[in-house]
Structure 1
Amino acid sequence: MNIKVSNLNRLTTVQHLLNLFVPFGVVQSVKIVKKDITGRSQGTGYVKMDRFSGNSAINGLNYFRFMNFYIEVSEAPM
């Protein structure tokens, strides 16, 4: 399952996102979307997990306060 994480603090790293999702299960991959020219975060990331763990993470983290931002966590459209 691919999970979209929106409204991330621009200072969020891949390691931060990984640490946030690991308590819900095995994380297969993590990506933070960055601007091409500057390499700065766009405030969106993607996490890949199995469906059961992914649903648990979505339920547990949607509108969770993370690094002083309320993140939005949902299944990413295919």
Structure 2
Amino acid sequence: MAGGLYMREHGKTKLSGTGHDRWKGYGNSLIFQGAFLLLFDGVNFMVHHSHGKGLFQHFNELQLTVAPGGIGMVYQW
């Protein structure tokens, strides 16, 4: 989002002609995309955080073993 703000400001002040519209448009696009991804990540964090609380209860049934032939994992019901 900060890059989008920079591009939009750069298009306002530093350029003349038709190039400034392109910089402002790209800047707005990056700001919009960054805001959407921030919102998307926040919603997914809250959903996964609430579902992840029950995950640690299942770790008690998980057993990891190391043998000369490799690594094994057993989940007992």
Higher relative contact order (CA 8 A, sep 6+): 1
> Which structure: greater strand fraction?
1
TM-score in terms of structure 2 length: 0.24
Q: TM-score, with normalisation over the residues of structure 1?
A: 0.24
Greater helix proportion: 2
